Amino acid sequence: MIVSSRGTHRALTALVGAAVALVCATTGGEAQTPATAGREVPARMLPAPSTVSPEMQRLLAAPIPGNWNSPPNTPEQWQAFAAQADRDPRDPQPLLDRFGITSERMVVNGIPAYMMTPSDLPAENRDRLLVHLHGGCYMMGGGVAAMYEGAMLAGFGHFRVLSVDYRRPPAFPYPAALDDAVAAWRGALEITDPNKMAIFGASAGGALTLSTVLRLKQEGLPLPAAIAPGTPMSDLTKRSDSFYTNRLVDNVLMGTEGRCQAMAEVYADGHDLADPMLSPVYGDMSGFPPTILTTGTRDLLLSDTVRVHRNLRRAGVVADLHVYEAQAHANYVRDIPESREAFEEMARFFDTHLDR
């Protein structure tokens, strides 16, 4: 049988149409794209690049802890873990001394916090204030350690910084940390004009920065003039690509089987992990203030950060994304040469967007 090319085209079109109709009938709606199988990647050695500082190279060469994927799994074990974290905080005092920063413990609208003021505070920053929400996977980094990242921005950026010592799990699960962040912001509004304030923080502090803005929008409260969520834990549902591409490449978080994800789930306390107040990448970011985001090429949360940036851009928000060479999760919040560049970038961004 001989069929013309036109007839062949009609026959193929009919066949394709029938196949699409069958798929629609079986799925109950539009034709669905079948899930694509993943791709296996062979094991390989990752050298510490010579393009970064020796201090950064040493961080990159650090081995993966043998127990990285064995987090506590009983309430008693979590209580002991949290108690140990409280006894072994990161000491900010060397940073405070180096930068000539004075710190004052205070209570802001019922929330404990630390006000840090650099000795070389320039005139244009005297009425400006940065509100800092510390990281630590929601469970670590409290007490005086809450000042550590804040001291870096106060020192490198020459701003006053208010570091919030929010409540932490397991004693205080969600929404305690978010409630405290919002309450501290309300208190800060009594101190400074919101157009002269920013909110920033890394990791869990980055997620809290985003969730706090979502809550402020819900409650009709004034928003900060700018925010800086660094490598935010913006998707606790573990859907982001770099959770898998950077698994065990990041030697800070290692992978989603590690302690940080487990701590975040203890904080979530059974709530839906896709709730924007826990996974802010799923929130409505329209009307957000100008945002600067920071991550690294080896960061397990690289995609978490990239996805937030794209959502902000789609919403018409001014948003800068800074991706640093070879850095794993929040490496820039370490006392290494690369820290200066990251915090000075944030400071310039705030200087651009905060009123004087």
Looking at the predicted structure, is the pLDDT value of residue 214 above 60?
yes
Upper half-sphere CA count for residue 164 (Cβ side, 13 Å)? 35
Which alpha helices (DSSP H) does 45-99 contain, by range?
54-61, 75-87, 93-99
* Sign of torsion over alpha carbons 190, 194, 197, 200: positive
Give the model's pLDDT for residue 12. 35
Q: Which of 35-49, 96-110, 157-171, 303-317 has the lowest mean pLDDT?
A: 35-49
> In the numeric block, which tokens belong to residue 347?
């400071």
* Count of CB atoms situated within 10 Å of the CB of 280: 29
* Whole-model pTM over 0.85: yes
Which segments within the chain are labelled E, that is strand? 101-108, 111-118, 129-133, 161-164, 197-202, 226-230, 291-296, 319-324
pLDDT of residue 35: 60
pLDDT digits (tens, 9 = 90+) for 49-70: 999 999 999 999 999 988 899 9
Mean pLDDT of the chain: 90
Strand, helix or coil at 200?
strand
Q: Which residues pair with 118 in a beta bridge?
A: 101
Of the two residues 84 and 1, the one the predictor is more confident about is 84
Return the CATH fold of 83-353: Rossmann fold (3.40.50)
